[in-house]
Structures are given as C-alpha cells and as structure tokens.
Amino acid sequence: MAIVTLDDDDLFGEDGDVPVISNTGSPIVKEIVPSKSAYESVEIVNSDKQLEKIIQYIDGEEWTVDYYLQAITKDNEIGLFDPDAPTASIQYVFIRDLILFVDTPLSQDVAQNITGTAYINANVTPNQGDAFTAELLGKRRALFTVTSVEKRNYNLNNVFLIEYRVNVFYDGNDTVLDSLREKIVKRYFYDKNFLSKNSSPLLLEDKYRQTRKIEAHIPDLTNNYFRFMLDTERNVLSVPGQEFVIVDIMLQEFLFKVVNIRDIVGANKIQRHSTIDEYMRQETIWDALAKRELDIIFRCSRKVTVVSTATFNQDIRLRDICYLGVQYVIYPSEPDVTIATLERLPTPPTIRIKSVENPYRDNKGTIENLIPVFDEESDFYVFTEAFYLYDTENMSILETLVYRYLNNEILDTTWIEYLLEDYKFWNRVQQYYYMPILMLLLRDHLDSTFSLS
C-alpha cells in the first residue's frame, strides 16, 4: 500500500480506551495462546514452516511496539492490512508492548521505502501482512506492515526474523487505526520477563493487571511477616503473643527457602537455627511444600508438641537455642522411631500455644472458611485433620489451594486476592504459620501465570 497523507484534524486516542469488539466472523481455527510450558515455544496461529536457520543469540536494541497479529480463520487468507475491508474479513489479536529485537535499523530513505528487520521471541508466529504501530524519531507515529517472515531457532525456541516497512504516518489522525481496532478480537500484554519466571510471554489484559497487582504485594507481605514475628530482644522469629519464647525451627527453615533474604531489612541480625535433631529433620508439611511433592503429606509427621529447650542441654550442638533465650521449640509428637537412633523422645511440657486474637479483626468482615481456625487443643501441625485426611468438604480454602499447588494446578486468582486482602487481620498464630505459605503461593502463581484463549 502506498503512503497515505492524512489530515491532522482528529487526535489519536489510547488503545487501552477502545472496547474489545466481539468476533462476528468465522471461528478461529488455531489456538490463540498456548498452555503453560517450561521454557518451550508453543506458537500462536501456528503454520508449518521449514526450519531455515539456527541463531546462537538474539542481539539488537529492544523496540517496544503495539502489534496486530492476524487471527487466521477458516475462510480468511493472510494478506496486507486493508482499512476498507469489512471487520469479518480479517481479524487481529492485539499485543500491547511487544518487544522487537532490532536486527537492521530503519533505513534512511523516502517515506515509501523506510524498511527494517527485527526478531520476535514471544511464542507467536507472525504472518506477512501483520501490522504494528510505533513512535519514530521526532515523535512521529507510524503504522508498519510486515512484508516477510523467516523462521529461526534460538535456545530450542522458535523465533522469527521479520522485515517491515512504513505503511502510514498517522500523526494526529486515527482513521486508519480505528479500522484496525474494529478488527481486534482479543487483547494481550507482553511480559518481557517471562523466561526468568517460567511463564507465558502473553497475558490476557485482565490477567496482566491482576498479576501486576499481586506482584506488588510480595515485598509488603514479606516485610510485614518479619516485622510481626521478630522478637527484637533475642532476634529470633518466635510465635507471637505467647507467655514464653517459642520458636518453630522447622517452619523457619522453610521460610528462608521462600524469601529472598536480601529483600529483608535487618535480616542479617536474625538468629537462625538448624534442625540437627533427628526427629526434627523428618519430613513435615514444609517438606511437601518446598519439594512440591503431594506424597509427602501421607508419610510425614502430622502432629507436634511444645518441648522445652532444656531437653537439649545434653547435646552441645543444640545448647545455643537455650542460651539465646529460646525457652521452647515445636517438636514432632509422633515421629517415625523405626528409622531414628535417639534413645528417647523429649518429654513434652504441659503448655500449649495459645490463641492470640488480632485487635483489628472486627474492623473488617470475615471471609468464611478462608483459612483454618486456630484450635488450641489440636495437635495437628499447621493444618487441620481434614487436610491430612483429604476431607475436601471440611477443608478451608487455603488448604484446598495448597492441594492444588501440590498437584501443579493453576490457583484461582480471586482466592489469592482474598488472602492478600485479609492476612493483616488474621489471628497472630495464623499469621505466623500461614503468611509464609501465602508467600509461596504468590510466587508460584506469578511464575505459572499463563493465558487461556
């Protein structure tokens, strides 16, 4: 298409302000967005192409554009963008902020001959005739057309070298862009950090906004935990609100696998202990979570008690716990004695962890069955008996989410958001045990986020 001269009467609006137009044309034959895959490339609107070249690395300056990918349908042919074509004849998948890796900069030529080449590495298969918009030097806005596509291979992923040329300068006029927008059937955001997060590079617009919202909560959640649970006198993470200093070393070891210690202010001052005791090293729910192995739940220590650190005075490796002012630790009450060499179990004291209500709980409504109710009389560790018996009717939402996590299922974003909105109001003991689990679920949810077509 030749360069078109446009009037400057109308201003170009933001793409995000345009409602999604429903698809009134032919059904889309190929799946638009792939299922989650670990560092694999499953192509959008895939077509068979011969693997022509293998490249060793993707170089070039990153160029952020808004890309209009043709949605190939049964009745439509791939072709150049025609602003006068009816909506049903050609349809586009809109990808906001797609990054092109520039291979050949734009040529300095008359407008009709401004061309360039770039690589696309985004789990999409571009087509000749695709379009994209970008801002050029001098703040000029241009609509580009993809004139050729060449398939390459990079780190076992398919990437594509595209050649493009300027189609239209649309400075101050949205006539041509309105025609493009009317043909959009679905909208996505491009996430440039997808490889480091083991996620899809393309997120549906609502999922993208949800993901960014959840991601913003992680630093606050982590720092709140260390602020709520740190005994500043002894620099230990202890069960809050208790008459004595009680530490759960098994939880603590899990916690420092979940958080990035460099993100915690003053973390270098925290006294950390290791579970040298044989029974404390046996598997618990924390091992199931850390290793993501569901089977561990059915063969781990399920019940615990509170044991005085004076019990360990005979073991020089464990005496420091007592010397640091820690009076009690959480200890398995039913360990597997058939595989251990300890002569006897520590004698449990008569104290229990007491419930510590949150003074702000009444300021916010309670979401029924969101997390397990803390039961002072229960010996079950972290979760309820229903959880360990896989009694789905009596499990809380958090317990159900943990099972889904262990089964490598995608977690419901709505419930994740409810947990984030509610955790500051939990019972203090609930916070001690469930905030680290929420940290894990958040990170996994972000890492495994992908779009559904």
- The model's confidence at residue 22, banded by pLDDT at 50, 70 and 90, is very low
pLDDT of the residue at 390 = 95
Q: For 266-288, what is the mean pLDDT?
A: 81
| Lowest pLDDT segment from 136-145, 154-163, 356-365, 423-432 | 154-163
Q: Which residue has the tokens 């495994």?
A: 448
- At a CB cut-off of 8 Å and minimum separation 6, what does 440 contact? 258, 289, 405
pLDDT of the residue at 174 = 77
| Lowest pLDDT segment from 65-69, 208-212, 373-377, 428-432 | 208-212
Query: Encoding tokens for residue 210?
Result: 């949800």
d(CA 318, CA 256): 20
pLDDT of the residue at 429 = 97
Is residue 430 over pLDDT 50? yes
Is residue 274 over pLDDT 70? no
- The model's confidence at residue 194, banded by pLDDT at 50, 70 and 90, is low
pLDDT of the residue at 73 = 56
Work out the percent of the chain whose per-residue pLDDT is above 90: 35
Q: How many CB atoms lie within 10 A of CB 340?
A: 14
pLDDT of the residue at 240 = 95
β-sheet with 304-308: strand ranges across: 246-247, 328-332, 304-308
C-alpha angle 340-343-345 in degrees, rounded to nearest 5? 85
pLDDT of the residue at 313 = 65
Work out the percent of the chain whose per-residue pLDDT is above 70: 69
Does 60 or 12 have the greater pLDDT score? Answer: 60
3-state secondary structure (DSSP) of residue 32: coil
Per the CB < 8 A criterion, the answer to whether 382 and 420 are in contact is no
pLDDT of the residue at 66 = 92
pLDDT of the residue at 177 = 83
d(CA 309, CA 159): 59
pLDDT of the residue at 348 = 67
| Arithmetic mean of pLDDT over the chain | 77
C-alpha angle 200-451-27 in degrees, rounded to nearest 5? 125
Taking CA atoms, 10 is separated from 6, 16, 172, 174, 175, in Å, by 10, 18, 6, 7, 8
pLDDT of the residue at 57 = 36
Question: Among 17-31, 50-64, 386-400, which range has the highest average pLDDT?
Answer: 386-400
pLDDT of the residue at 80 = 56
Closest CA to 125 of 178, 172, 69: 69
Is residue 392 over pLDDT 90? yes
Q: How many CB atoms lie within 10 A of CB 210?
A: 18
**Half-sphere exposure of residue 332: CA atoms within 13 angstroms, side-chain side:** 22
Per the CB < 8 A criterion, the answer to whether 77 and 99 are in contact is no
Closest CA to 92 of 139, 159, 146, 173: 146
The full length of the chain comes to: 453
Q: Output the furthest CA–CA distance in the chain (Å, rounded).
A: 90
C-alpha angle 210-419-96 in degrees, rounded to nearest 5? 5
d(CA 221, CA 204): 26
Per the CB < 8 A criterion, the answer to whether 424 and 173 are in contact is no
- The model's confidence at residue 303, banded by pLDDT at 50, 70 and 90, is very high
Model pLDDT for residues 309-321, shown as the tens digit of each residue: 877 766 665 666 7
Q: Is 378 exposed, middle or buried (0-12, 13-18, 19+ CB in 10 A)?
A: middle
Closest CA to 442 of 122, 34, 239, 418: 418
Per the CB < 8 A criterion, the answer to whether 54 and 81 are in contact is no
Is residue 229 over pLDDT 60? yes
Model pLDDT for residues 84-122, shown as the tens digit of each residue: 555 456 889 888 889 899 988 887 776 667 889 999 888
